Amino acid sequence: MICVRLYGMSRRRQQRRADKARRHLQPTHRSAPMGAQSSATAPPRVVVRQASHVERLAYSRSQAAKALGISLSTLRRLLPYIETIEMPWGTSLIPVDELERIAAERRRTARPRLEPATRGRKPAVPPEIARRLCDERSAGKSLRQIADGLNADRIPTAHDGKKWWPSTVRDVLQRAT
């Protein structure tokens, strides 16, 4: 006997069903004294055991939608094309092989990935100006002196600002290192 949990049933109802199934499997007649009954008329011996592992046989609609990675409303549109098992209590279950068939039909080849975009701000200051800033800073000039020197040489700022500021020089130096 395989113990399978049927979804949509309470544990108590499942237990009653299992007990009823066990009662039907056990022989109800009393055995006659030794030698009174021939082996041909003796009922077959029934062995009841529990399974250690049970494969899922069927899915409910919500479980099938989750397994396919689609919404429940999309699955409802597909249901006329899916073979289902109607249970006595009104639930329709979708067999696993049917679910695998649908998944295989819906499977598409993956699109190639696009080239990843570079992260962060584009370097707006030309490399030679960034090198000049690093050289002047390592020579011991302050940020204000470097900014004044760039303004005197009329070097344009990164985003066409009016003039260089010490904070702008600091940001360019931080990005350069």
In-domain check, residue 95: no
Q: What is the DSSP string of the chain?
A: ----PPTTS-HHHHHHHHHHHHHHHS--SPPPSTTTS-TTTSPPPP-----S-----EE-HHHHHHHHT--HHHHHHHGGGS--EE-TTS-EEEEHHHHHHHHHHH--PPPPPPPPPPPS----S-HHHHHHHHHHHHTT--HHHHHHHHHHTT---TT--SS--HHHHHHHHHHH-
In-domain check, residue 132: yes
In-domain check, residue 153: yes
Packing angle between helix 127-138 and helix 143-152, nearest 10 degrees? Answer: 140
Question: How confident is the model at residue 111, as a pLDDT?
Answer: 77
The tally of domains found in the chain comes to 1
Q: Each residue of 67-106: pLDDT tens digit?
A: 778 888 887 887 777 777 777 777 777 777 777 777 777 7
Question: How confident is the model at residue 96, as a pLDDT?
Answer: 78
In-domain check, residue 20: no
In-domain check, residue 68: no
Question: How confident is the model at residue 46, as a pLDDT?
Answer: 53
pTM of the model: 0.34
Question: How confident is the model at residue 176, as a pLDDT?
Answer: 77
Rounded to the nearest integer, the mean pLDDT of the chain is 75
In-domain check, residue 15: no
In-domain check, residue 34: no
Q: Which domain holds residue 133?
A: 127-176
In-domain check, residue 87: no
pLDDT in tens, the chain (177 residues): 445 555 566 778 888 888 877 776 655 555 455 555 555 566 655 555 554 554 566 678 788 888 778 888 887 887 777 777 777 777 777 777 777 777 777 777 777 877 777 776 666 788 899 999 999 999 999 999 999 999 999 888 877 778 999 999 998 898 877
